[in-house]
Amino acid sequence: MASTEGSKLWGGRFVGDTDPIMEKFNASIAYDKRMWDADIRGSKAYVKALEKAKLVTRDEMNQIVQGLNQISEEWCQDIFVIKPGDEDIHTANERRLTELIGAPAGKLHTGRSRNDQVVTDMRLWLRDAISTLTDNALQLISSMVERAAAEIDVLFPGYTHMQRAQPIRWSHWILSHAVALSRDVDRLKEIKKRANVLPLGSGAIAGTPFDIDRELLRKELDFDGISLNSMDATGQRDFVVEFLFWASLCLTHLSKMAEDLMLYSTKEFSFITLSDAYSTGSSLMPQKKNADSLELIRSKAGRVFGSCAGFMMTLKGLPSTYNKDLQEDKEAMFDCYDTVHAVLQVTTGVMSTLKINQSVMEAALSPDMLATDLAYYLVRKGMPFREAHGVSGKAVFAAESKNIALNQLTVEDLSALSPLFGSDVSSVWDYGSSVEQYSASGGTAKSSVAAQVEHLRCWLKKQTQ
């Protein structure tokens, strides 16, 4: 049964009960209850500002704080009882506070609106969530960097357009994804800075008419700054959109990596073997070992994209300041957090436990992948690269016409294409030498990959300082 208007934070001018269907439609307690701690922290800080402004007495402040502490304990012990009429976490906590201490609870909301209260809760919650996701990402990057260091001598084919391109180090592939994730961490920390701005004290739209010390609130809640404009503070959700976009981009990176690993784990490639801990089977085909962990990582990217695009569509048609449409912000934010939190942990597990099949990786290298090296051979003898590229292409065509491997062309065959070819061309057909020539910063030579490992190790160390 719907509750009466008297239990609402917005009662007063309404007569009779809310329609039960509307009651359920309007409520957000089912999901915003996870902000209970942020809501209580915000209220504790706010009552101190009320006491300083002489809007509550010292004794009333102490009663309110004591009551809020008890409510916090109830949430911690999972014994807090949500009752009909608790449409959101703010209503639930204030209703319980009234039950515990009586009339003084009614003073807590003085000068405060749910408009500035909810966005304060969200910023506090997201700030903590970002810290958790940062730790998750750093753990994943660390596991990838150490794997790259341990397996630095393993060579395998690099691909462009899904075609064999050039020999590279397996570690070079790992680090290409670790670098992308390091940018994700940098971006996430920037979002945290922009989210860490205090909106409390903005009221519903116009600000507060009372002598609320917003600097005190900032310090109590450990915000970096104070919102400049009350209308903007209560109506904007840029920090949520940024987080949703960040989640979308991060999962784009992880989806790409998962796609590669799925291919590498197939029988056709057999470059890697996933741990049974991150694989599943078939209900019909006993031989199957499915890379469900990687498939789900890939699929979760679409889920997050949808949340980001959906919420931006909600925002684009809104007039200024707060509108109830903004209630959609929390489910999007919570779901994206939960999704990325799970994906980062599963990816760490996958990357930490998979086994590489080094002999298969190296057997997949083929002489045609050294066609570029053949062009470089000519460049080192003075031929312009564009001309050398053409000659090497003719060599590839000649080998294909004879149905032989590129390295089976004789010196005479190659000399017919260019007099610069000599007996020393045999040095081209060595995969180890091929990767070692890419020693410039960022390349796949051992020294360059080792430098990348060291760079990321130093970067990781700075993140934890």
* Residues known to be catalytic: 161, 282
- C-alpha 409/C-alpha 417 separation (Å) is 11
Whether 117 contacts 53, CB under 8 Å: no
| Amino acid identity, position 463 | Q
Quick one: three-class SS letters along 164-179?
A: EEEEEEHHHHHHHHHH
Can you list the positions of beta strands (E) in 352-456? 355-356
Quick check: helix, strand or coil at residue 46?
A: helix
- C-alpha 390/C-alpha 444 separation (Å) is 25
Please provide residue 354's backbone torsions phi and psi, each rounded to the nearest 5 degrees: -65, 155
Number of residues in the chain: 465
Token couple for 384: 């312009």
- C-alpha 202/C-alpha 338 separation (Å) is 30
Whether 350 contacts 257, CB under 8 Å: no
Q: What is the DSSP string of 195-250?
A: H-EE-TT-TTTT--SS---HHHHHHHHT-SEE-S-HHHHHH--HHHHHHHHHHHHH
25-28: which pairs have CB atoms within 8 A and are 24 or more residues apart?
Answer: 26/87, 26/324, 27/86, 27/87, 27/88, 28/87, 28/88, 28/89, 28/327, 28/330
Q: Is the dihedral of CA 140, 143, 149, 152 positive or negative?
A: negative
